[in-house]
Structure 1
């Protein structure tokens, strides 16, 4: 039987390969890298083990996000994770009891939200998966971090802003059109313009690592996929930062 470390390694390594499907990656591994493992079961068994150890994959991600540099300047945002197209919502069964409709700035969707907090080096500082209906500002205190937090207008809330301020986190957003203009100082304006770094992270997660897809058939497999993707990105970001600093 595979060890826990080997299961996590296979789950993460698949996203660094050129294969878009996990089954194709496992078949390739069985053909060319079988000697690297003491025992390599079939695809069905490996997939079941990945689902079984989903909690361990989450714990591993939480362990490595602590390696991200904490420079007290962070950017926060969310992105929708669609589990199916809107026209197929009534026929969707896999996440029927968990997925909920939500409406971000891009329009209605059915699925979940991934809330991310990143630093200036595009390293993930904190992450959380919620239902699609969960308001962004309601998650900010769960991803609390010291310093300045730059976010979009979806995080405007006087109550949460004061709550975060008491815990050493200054939430900075632009004002809405119907609100009194609150000008930012030169440094805050500079960092607010850098908030687009978060969109770069979202794009890389979706385009390069295939974060959003509709092939999942269980909740545990879906969560394992999300956090394995985050692990791959985080390791890549930390390695790139190390090379640049070196």
Structure 2
């Protein structure tokens, strides 16, 4: 991997943690009852950098990626721990990684696209024997069939930037998290038919958001401005982003052995996408540039 990119990621993460960690410590309700007795040679910035870089370098397997770091990037990470030890440290990054992702710059353009995708944790046939996600994962159904796992809900702008995201059990309907995803946004949101709901439309309209969807066959045809029709046809941008998250980043695989590490991997993949210089984008001459 490009060393300059590693340094850039580390610098951004470290600058964020310098400001964030004191704030997080103040917000803790109680002091930890058990303080760690074992110090770690890797600092939190290095751990987060390694996790984010995994989704940019092209490896399909994290263990092989970590061996690659030990062989070719020992000068950048001089105090690398063993692979098993590193895996045990991953959960420490959960909260900082989440807030770092949300701290990345995004543009409120007034033109947004919302959708969800299945995050499978195992085959449906093995759902009953899955011990790691037994308590939180559920069966769900998409246009491609049944799955066992979660749904990742995303809202992106026309520049290809991820504005917000949330994770729900697989059985949750797409429209339920839509209101929280659109929080603090103003403009138009384009979606598929899964978001058709009079109640949702009215709630979003009260917040200054116009939800625009295709109509179902049994619905009356209604007038739609030409620009809205054109933007509905551009919904493929969010499908492209989801494809990159799954196939360039590695947000979906069935090798997880703990829930915190699963969530960290997912957020790290979204973070890595957010740090990319070139993102899928569409031409939008009516971008409002709302701030």
For this structure pair, what is the TM-score category when the shorter chain's length is used for normalisation? Answer: over 0.9
Secondary structure of the 1:190 match is helix
- What SS does structure 1 have at the residue aligned with 2:153? strand
The more displaced of 12-21 and 198-207 is 12-21
Q: Which residue of 2 aligns with 1:156?
A: 196
Deviation per residue, 1:21-58 (Å, 9 max, x gap): 11112122122222223421111111111122212111
| Larger Rg computed on CA atoms | 2
Give the match for residue 122 of structure 1. Answer: 160
Q: Structure 1 residue aligned with 2:74, among 31, 34, 51?
A: 34
* Partner in structure 2 of residue 10 of structure 1: 50
- From 217, 220, 224, the equivalent of 1:177 is 217
Q: Is the contact made by 2:160 and 2:279 (CA closer than 8 Å) also made in structure 1?
A: no
CA contact (8 A) 1:150 1:191 kept: yes
Task: Determine which structure has the larger helix proportion and give its number.
Answer: 1
SS at the partner of 1:6?
helix
1:233 matched residue in structure 2: 273
**8 Å CA contact retained: 1:123, 1:238:** no
**Greater mean deviation of Cα atoms: 226-235 or 85-94:** 85-94
Find out whether 1:94 has 2:132 as its counterpart: yes
2:156 aligns to what SS in structure 1?
strand
What TM-score do you get using the length of structure 1 for normalisation? Answer: 0.93
TM-superposed deviation, 1:222 = 0.3
Contact in 2 for aligned 1:61/1:227 (Cα 8 Å): yes
> Displacement, 1:236?
0.9
SS at match of 2:276: helix
Aligned length: 239
Stretches of 4+ aligned residues off by more than 4 angstroms: 237-241
Alpha carbons of 1:239 and 1:154: their partners in 2 closer, same or farther (altered >3 Å)?
A: closer
Tell me what 2:181 maps to: 143
* Contact 1:153–1:174 (8 Å) recurs in 2: yes
Q: 1:110 aligns with which of 148, 151, 154?
A: 148
Find the residue that maps to 2:177 and give its secondary structure. Answer: helix
Partner of 1:44: 84
User: What root-mean-square deviation, in Å, do the aligned CA atoms of Structure 1 and Structure 2 show?
Assistant: 1.5
Using a 3 Å threshold, how does the CA distance of structure 1 residues 240 and 106 change in structure 2: closer, same or farther? Answer: closer
Structure-to-structure mapping, 1:211-230, within 5 angstroms: 211-230=251-270
- Paired with 1:237 and 1:85, the residues of 2 have a C-alpha distance of 35
Instruction: State how far apart, in whole Å, the 2-side matches of 1:50 and 1:158 are.
Output: 42
TM-score by length of 2: 0.79
